Amino acid sequence: MCGIIGYSGHRPAIPAIVEGLHRLEYRGYDSAGVAFQYGDALRVIRAEGKLGALDQKIAGLDIASSVCGIGHTRWATHGLPVERNAHPHMDPGNGFALVHNGIIENYAELKADLVAHGHSFRSETDTEVLVHLIAQGAEQTDNVLQAIHWALQRVEGTYAFALISREHPGKIWASRKASPLLLGLGLGEHFIASDIPAFLPYTRDVVFLDNDEIVEIDAHSWQVFDAATLEPKSKEVRHISWDVQAAQKDGYKHFMLKEIFEQPKVIRDCLAGRIREGQVSLPEAENLDMPQRLTIVACGTSFHAGLWAKYLLESWARIPVQVEIASEFRYRDTVFLPGDLVLTISQSGETADTLAAIRIARDAGVPILGLCNVVGSSIARESDHVIYTQAGPEISVASTKAMCSQMIVLVLLTLYWCQRKNMLTRDELAARLDQLTSVPSILESALPALRDQAQNLCLDYADARSFFFLGRGLYFPLALEGALKLKEISYIHAEGYAAGEMKHGPIALVDAHFPTFALAVHDELLPKVASNLQEVQARGGRIIALMNASAPLTVTSPWILPDVWGAFKSFMVLPAVQLFAYEMAVYLGKDVDQPRNLAKSVTVE
């Protein structure tokens, strides 16, 4: 939530910063701003609304001489999304400008204290308190690092911030606690940002900052300090393999569509090097004891991937599994048992609730395996073991290819544990892996027709205000995912339900205006699903049903999927529900990649 960027180098800072903000806009988009050195003063330009509004304010300004600055794109937590609350914020003396991602939890008491010392505030944000506090620290020392150190000792909460000072042109300071922050190292230029795509056109050499570190940069130097002691620290520089193209739309109208169509490649990338001679090779899991019980913790779409994997882990590998929503898990007094393993799943690797779950497990002495997409993210670094899902940058707020990659890695992990427990013969395992490797090409051929079908269905169902998504077994979590996708980008109310649970209440809602989207593929539960759909039809409900030609059902709108082996039918169902939501949102004229009220990575509670 919120994207921050800082630049110090040889090129005009504001175009580079604004370009970076566009690449970070997925993190928040209710207002934006930049601050930079302008003559002897700091200048701040801010605008309410999406970045386009800031672009317009900046266009035509004579600011090319500025080679250092900071920028922010906001997802509001404290204070309305209006210009006065947009970042950067300044101290009363206009000596500092600061951008912040996170929440200063004790801001109310800090603010009261500052007001008592004569400070007046220009916004309702928690962030403004932080810049006032740093300025207060600077009254006692002209060393900005010391002033930040002084302020951070008083602050509780989470933050990643970047700061510039009127008295120190060309310098930027930044620090983090539980919100992401990275350093990009170019030639004669350095960046600070919330995420790699912000500076990807300029450099792929990255330093991941850890909690409680402060970094000081200018165009030619950078140094990381321990925030508690101000001792310099040495840090590893990592070269990132992502390319600029991976973070661009590549001719697609929306990132979401591009990312849905990337799924065959994502599956191939996930499988690459992980299947050898009919066996699963997962070195990341080799040092883990076989879990006696697995607790999967995640949020949103990643939670659905975990719920889906539970069916496989239990039935194939015979491992007891519980799947928990991280925001609930963190406040329950969970009972851990010897032999437990906590598996966290996260695309961004920065989701605050999932991170909190990791810390709870760690404090309880339970080993943690993290599944995440973003290399070097907080979850990756705080887990004992990490498996990267290799989906490449996912920009659209609605997660699509990340879930596909998580499911593939979860299949591999399940089969890996089957292998270790000798649950399958060598031939059975090799056959299952063969079936898995055939999925990408089948999906690749199927995607254009899936999209056409989704487009056609929108014409018939765009008037619906509510949808049920029904499935059983493996297809129940995918029904939850289909409903989540539809509501988050098309704003149509949708409920994912276990098909067998309908008659316990929800079926009362069914009528001709409340359609059902059924996941009714050909598996052993199909006869049960078919009965549940009969019950819906008997009450006048219209039904779209994903199904296989080998077991067709008579419904209002049949949607035939290519047939693939057993559980891997899921890899056809997933893009179908994604495309349905996508086409519906496009048809209804919604902002697909940046749906209202949302942000890509949820780094606050």
Of 150-158, 261-269, 293-301, 445-453, the window that binds ligand M6R (rule: CB under 6 A) is 293-301
Given candidates 487, 602, 603, 604, which one binds ligand M6R under the rule CB under 6 A? 602
Q: Is 372 a catalytic residue?
A: no
Distance CA 138, CA 161 (A): 17
Q: Is residue 492 within the footprint of ligand M6R (CB under 6 A)?
A: no
Nearest residue to ligand M6R on Cβ basis: 300
What is the pattern of x (binds ligand M6R, CB under 6 A) and - over residues 445-484? Answer: ---------------------------------------x
State the Cα angle at 572 between 570 and 575, rounded to 5°.
105
Torsions phi, psi for 390 (to 5 deg): 60, 35
Under DSSP, is residue 507 helix (H, G, I), strand (E, B) or coil?
helix
Nearer to ligand M6R, 189 or 481 (CB): 481
Q: How far is the CB of 158 from ligand M6R (least distance, A)?
A: 15
- Dihedral sign, CA of 505, 508, 514, 520? positive
Closest CA to 45 of 24, 75, 66: 66
Q: How far is CA 46 from CA 18, 81, 330, 436, 600, in A?
A: 12, 12, 37, 50, 22
Q: How far is CA 510 from CA 479, 514, 538, in A?
A: 17, 6, 10
Q: How far is the CB of 601 from ligand M6R (least distance, A)?
A: 5
- Looking at 12-122, which runs of residues are DSSP E strands? 31-38, 41-48, 68-74, 89-90, 96-104
Of 99-107, 348-356, 506-514, 561-569, the window that binds ligand M6R (rule: CB under 6 A) is 348-356
Of 148-156, 228-236, 340-348, 584-592, the window that binds ligand M6R (rule: CB under 6 A) is 340-348
Letter string b/e over residues 408-421, b meaning 16 or more CB atoms within 10 A of that residue's CB? bbbbbbbbbbbbee
Q: How far is the CB of 570 from ligand M6R (least distance, A)?
A: 17
Of 96-104, 129-137, 255-263, 296-304, the window that binds ligand M6R (rule: CB under 6 A) is 296-304
Beta carbons within 10 angstroms of residue 35's beta carbon = 30
Q: Is residue 347 within the footprint of ligand M6R (CB under 6 A)?
A: yes
Q: Is residue 370 within the footprint of ligand M6R (CB under 6 A)?
A: no
Q: How far is the CB of 114 from ligand M6R (least distance, A)?
A: 34
Token duo for residue 395:
């920009």
Per CB under 6 A, contacts with ligand M6R among 388-427 are 397-399
Q: Is residue 494 within the footprint of ligand M6R (CB under 6 A)?
A: no
Q: How far is the CB of 151 from ligand M6R (least distance, A)?
A: 30
Token duo for residue 113:
């204290």
Torsions phi, psi for 384 (to 5 deg): -70, -35
Given candidates 354, 378, 414, 419, which one binds ligand M6R under the rule CB under 6 A? 354
Q: Is 569 a catalytic residue?
A: no
Distance CA 182, CA 160 (A): 10
Q: Is residue 302 within the footprint of ligand M6R (CB under 6 A)?
A: yes
Closest CA to 485 of 398, 412, 378, 376: 398
Report the residue count for the chain: 605
Nearer to ligand M6R, 551 or 588 (CB): 588
Q: How many residues bind ligand M6R (CB under 6 A)?
A: 16
Q: Is residue 264 within the footprint of ligand M6R (CB under 6 A)?
A: no
Q: Is residue 594 within the footprint of ligand M6R (CB under 6 A)?
A: no
Of 188-196, 288-296, 341-349, 535-543, the window that binds ligand M6R (rule: CB under 6 A) is 341-349
Q: How far is the CB of 374 from ligand M6R (least distance, A)?
A: 8
Q: Is residue 346 within the footprint of ligand M6R (CB under 6 A)?
A: yes
Given candidates 299, 446, 479, 492, which one binds ligand M6R under the rule CB under 6 A? 299
Q: Is residue 488 within the footprint of ligand M6R (CB under 6 A)?
A: yes
How is the beta sheet containing 31-38 ordered, strand by strand?
41-48, 31-38, 68-74, 3-8, 190-193, 182-185, 205-208, 238-239
Per CB under 6 A, contacts with ligand M6R among 187-246 are none
Distance CA 475, CA 551 (A): 16
Q: For the chain, what is the largest distance between any 2 Cα atoms, rounded to a whole number of angstroms?
A: 78
How is the beta sheet containing 213-217 ordered, strand by strand?
89-90, 96-104, 157-165, 172-177, 213-217, 222-226, 232-233
Q: What's at 243, amino acid-wise?
A: D
Distance CA 395, CA 400 (A): 10
Q: How far is the CB of 290 from ligand M6R (least distance, A)?
A: 26
Q: Is residue 584 within the footprint of ligand M6R (CB under 6 A)?
A: no
Nearer to ligand M6R, 137 or 376 (CB): 376
Alpha helix ranges (H) inside 438-473: 439-461
Q: How far is the CB of 257 from ligand M6R (least distance, A)?
A: 14
In the set 258, 310, 487, 600, the catalytic residue is 600
Q: How far is the CB of 401 from ligand M6R (least distance, A)?
A: 11
Given candidates 37, 179, 348, 390, which one binds ligand M6R under the rule CB under 6 A? 348
Q: Is residue 578 within the footprint of ligand M6R (CB under 6 A)?
A: no
In the set 2, 372, 418, 458, the catalytic residue is 2
Terminal alpha carbon distance of the chain:
11
Given candidates 95, 137, 186, 300, which one binds ligand M6R under the rule CB under 6 A? 300
Helix (H) or strand (E) holding 260: helix 255-261
Of 199-207, 347-355, 457-465, 553-561, the window that binds ligand M6R (rule: CB under 6 A) is 347-355
DSSP state of 281: -
Active site residues: 2, 600
Binding site for ligand M6R (CB under 6 A): 299-302, 346-348, 351, 354, 397-399, 484, 488, 601-602
